[in-house]
Amino acid sequence: MESRTRVLCALGALATGVALGLPQNAAAGPDPVNQPLADGCQRNPVGLLSYSSPEWVFVGGKQSGDPLRTIEGSSTIVHTADEDLPQSHASYDLDWDVAPDPQYLGLLAGDPNANGGQGNGNFAHDADQGKLHVEWESGSVPSFVWPTEGDRVKLWGQWIWDCGHWGQGVVTDQSNPQGSLSGTGDYFLPGQVEGTAPAGLRGEQTELHPLQAVVVNRTASNQAIAPERETDVFASNDGTHALGEEQCARSLTPLPGLPSYGPDFSACVNLPSNQVQDVHGRAYDFFVPAPPKPFAGARLRYREDRPVVGSGASETVTPLSNGLLVHVAFDGVPAGDTALHAFGARYFVGWEGQDSGPTPLRFTLKRVTVNHSLDPNRNRATQTGPPPGEYNLYMNLNGNWNFIGGHGATGALSGEWAPGLGMVSDGQSLDVNRDVVFYVPAGAPVRLDISGRECDLPRIDPCVVNGEVSDGNDHPGEAIATFPSASAALGD
């Protein structure tokens, strides 16, 4: 569950949302108002916070069979979560939306014409409209495979209901002196309990969560030093706490007459073996495209890097006339094995004799200035936030992700640039002076995105443990700069 609302791309989604519809040949997705309850969601906020109600359940519930699904499409709104429930996360989720290819629309719940045209489920009018949200804890998936805006992806993951969000957001109608409720959003409606379905209910959304394998066809490689296309892949059986909740909601029975489970649910979820995905016999096939052929007779070439030294997986690469066909199989994992296994690789494909390469750029982050620490935040009465503020900031530069900081006094996170961001005050400036060298293919743009969170929810890596009490994290904001080319990005 992740409750971030992004301004980026929201206007485009709303502008086209009225005309959004399913292609005639698309399979209808599940009903988001009634089926989540039948599958195990309980719409019980207290239960979500107390380990007695599942935050995620398999679509299909106890009859779901194999819940692993595949989706292909383009990535958008890629970010680490602003906030997650500490009860169910070791690290903050890596979240993004997939605008699916038409044959995968059946994975989306809901109807764009429901609620008088406001839509429901995955088709409610918000930034996620008509997309499938996907999540995997950021500590479980290495940053080399994190996508960026517009990258093509092929994903395998558990098909689930997000039981933590089912209601409408509160939007005050200023034309009505008494106020009224309208619009949709990603919020609890605490008055709703199992069995209720008030008129206009948005209902839960479907997701792939956790993921099991990620393939990213980079729109513009930031690593290729030659005119090459880059495809990154990572596969792992790390199911995190999310899989534990899904497995245990399917295998256990709620308390009679109550929208909650007993203590056996918490014990089941926290059993390490229930947080490991079964990858025995799993295989993943994907295509690694080459750039356009520069001239007749040009010969395909490719190279491969292995940033992840994993175990249990084998690989077969078959060169084709326009790229590579890759087959990765966990054929070395025995049935019932609960050890962690992973595979990670980068593929670079180009043509012999093509010399004009990408443009190398050096980006230097000189300084970060904190306008407002957000501790205390006088605009939020639902938190205690004594100074200093605790910031986590991330930088995404054409898909090159870096953790700027801050892990604060508990010690530096691997690769952290500015640990001092873990303890900040209003007006404070931190000298960073760290740089990144990356490559921009000919004709490709440059996009810089810096965003993060202020840690009012403790215990989730990389937030430090603190004494604050809050219903959610504050949001320091987001800085995005885009340039049409490498040359246009030069300057201070």
Q: Which residues contact 116 (CB under 8 A, 6 or more apart)?
A: 200
Label residues 326-346 b or e (16+ Cβ within 10 Å = b).
Answer: bebbbeebeeebeebbbbbbb
* pLDDT of amino acid 97: 98
Q: DSSP letter at 407?
A: -
* pLDDT of amino acid 199: 62
Q: Measure the CA–CA gap between 91 and 413, rounded to whole angstroms.
A: 12
348 SS3 class: strand
Q: DSSP letter at 315?
A: E
Residue positions counted in the chain: 492
Q: Measure the CA–CA gap between 115 and 463, rounded to whole angstroms.
A: 39
pLDDT, tens digit (0-9, with 9 covering 90-100), for 223-255: 999 999 999 999 999 999 999 999 999 999 999
pLDDT bin (cut points 50, 70, 90) of residue 27 is low
* pLDDT of amino acid 187: 39
**Ramachandran region, residue 57 (left: φ > 0; alpha: ψ -120 to 50; beta: rest):** beta
Order of strands across the sheet with 323-329? 283-289, 323-329, 314-319
Tell me the HSE value of 334 on the side-chain side, using a 13 A CA sphere.
4
Q: Is 352 exposed, middle or buried (0-12, 13-18, 19+ CB in 10 A)?
A: exposed
Q: Is 116 exposed, middle or buried (0-12, 13-18, 19+ CB in 10 A)?
A: exposed
Q: What is the mean pLDDT of residues 382-403?
A: 90
Q: Measure the CA–CA gap between 48 and 45, rounded to whole angstroms.
A: 5
Q: What is the mean pLDDT of residues 20-30?
A: 59
Q: DSSP letter at 188?
A: -
pLDDT, tens digit (0-9, with 9 covering 90-100), for 172-207: 333 322 222 223 333 344 333 444 455 678 899 999
**Ramachandran region, residue 126 (left: φ > 0; alpha: ψ -120 to 50; beta: rest):** beta
- CA distances in angstroms from 142 to 136, 160, 214, 234, 344, listed in the order given: 11, 23, 11, 8, 9
* pLDDT of amino acid 354: 77
Q: DSSP letter at 92?
A: P
CA angle 410, 426, 419 (to 5 degrees): 25
pLDDT, tens digit (0-9, with 9 covering 90-100), for 269-292: 999 999 999 999 999 999 999 999
* pLDDT of amino acid 168: 56
88 SS3 class: helix
**Ramachandran region, residue 323 (left: φ > 0; alpha: ψ -120 to 50; beta: rest):** left
Q: What is the mean pLDDT of residues 96-116?
A: 95
**Ramachandran region, residue 182 (left: φ > 0; alpha: ψ -120 to 50; beta: rest):** beta
- Output phi, psi for 316, to 5 deg: -130, 125
Q: And the tokens for 144?
A: 């080399």
Of 303, 94, 328, nearest to 209 (Cα)? 94
pTM for this model (two decimals): 0.89
Tell me the HSE value of 103 on the side-chain side, using a 13 A CA sphere.
5
Q: What is the mean pLDDT of residues 120-146?
A: 94
Label residues 408-430 b or e (16+ Cβ within 10 Å = b).
Answer: beeebbeebbbbbbbbbeeebeb
pLDDT bin (cut points 50, 70, 90) of residue 60 is very high
* pLDDT of amino acid 414: 58
Residue 48 pLDDT greater than 60, yes or no? yes
Q: And the tokens for 3?
A: 């409750």
Q: Measure the CA–CA gap between 405 and 373, rounded to whole angstroms.
A: 14
